[in-house]
Amino acid sequence: MTSVKQFKILHKDKKARVGKLTTPHGVIETPQFNPVGTQAAVKALGPRELKEIGAQIVLANTYHLMLRPGADLIAKFGGLHKFMGWDRPIMTDSGGFQVFSLGIALEHGGSKVLRQDENDNEQSSLNGAVRPRLNKITEEGVTFQSHLDGSKHIFTPESSIKIQHQLGADLIVAFDDHESAKHTKQEMQESLELTERWAIRSLKGLKRLKSRQLMYGVVHGGTHKDLRVRSAQFTDSNFDAIALGGIYGDKKTLCQIIEWSLGEVSQDKPRHLLGIGEVEDLFNGVEAGIDFFDCVAPTRRARFGSLYISPKAGGKRKDSFTLSIRQSRHTADKKPIDPNCACLTCLNFSRSYLRHLYFAKEILFHNLATYHNVYFILNLMKEIREAIKNDKFNKLKSGWV
End-to-end CA distance of the chain: 38
Within 209-317, residue ranges assigned H as helices are 225-238, 251-262, 279-288, 297-303
Determine the Cα–Cα distance for residues 171 and 210; give it in Å rounded to an integer: 15
Backbone angles phi, psi at 308, to 5 degrees: -70, 140
Catalytic: which of 177, 236, 294, 338? 294
Determine the Cα–Cα distance for residues 217 and 242; give it in Å rounded to an integer: 5
253-274: b or e for each residue (b if 16 or more CB lie within 10 Å)? ebbebbebbbebbeeebbbbbb
CB-CB neighbours of 314 under 10 Å: 12
Pair 228, 257: CB distance under 8 Å: yes
Determine the Cα–Cα distance for residues 233 and 263; give it in Å rounded to an integer: 9
Catalytic: which of 13, 93, 291, 338? 93
Element (H, E) at 136: strand 135-137
Q: Give yes or no: 294 in active site.
A: yes
Q: Give the 3-state secondary structure of residue 215.
A: strand
Q: Give the 3-state secondary structure of residue 307.
A: strand
Q: What is the CA radius of gyration of the chain?
A: 21
Q: Rounded to the nearest 5 degrees, what angle is found at the Cα of 125, between the Cα atoms of 119 and 130?
A: 160
Percentages helix, strand, coil for the chain (3-state, rounded to 5) are: 45, 20, 40
Pair 379, 54: CB distance under 8 Å: yes
Determine the Cα–Cα distance for residues 60 and 30; give it in Å rounded to an integer: 19
What are the residue numbers of the active site?
Answer: 93, 294
